[in-house]
Amino acid sequence: MMCFLVFKENSYAGRTIEVVKGQKVIFTGPYAIIRHPMYLGSIVMYIATPIALGSYWALPPFLLMLPVFVYRILNEEEVLRRGLPGYKEYCKKTRYRLLPFIW
């Protein structure tokens, strides 16, 4: 569900980290609360799927994915800070990357 909200709000969302001509900072919808709502939606999906299927042995491998998500978020923020006008100000206004009041 979160991924659909992200695509509705941000037509620039995608799997490739890049800044394209004419791209603007999105600060509405879920982006008003956290800077990376699509990653949050993906993480929730990764956790919920094994639980919903009753396959609890699949949860530990997910934990190995968390550092990958953190690295990707930090990398993406660096690309956006360098190439997307207004992103630095957005980061100051929307302090949390993934979880409000935590990170």
pLDDT digits 0-9 by tens, 5-53:
766 667 677 677 878 788 888 888 888 899 998 889 888 888 888 888 8
CB contact at 8 A, 92 and 25: no
pTM: 0.81
Q: What is the CA radius of gyration of the chain?
A: 15
- Which helix (H) or strand (E) segment holds residue 49: the answer is helix 37-53
Q: Count the helix, strand and coil residues of the chain and give each as a percent rounded to the nearest 5.
A: 60, 0, 40
Q: What is the pLDDT of residue 8?
A: 64
Cα distance from N-terminal residue to C-terminal residue, the chain: 21
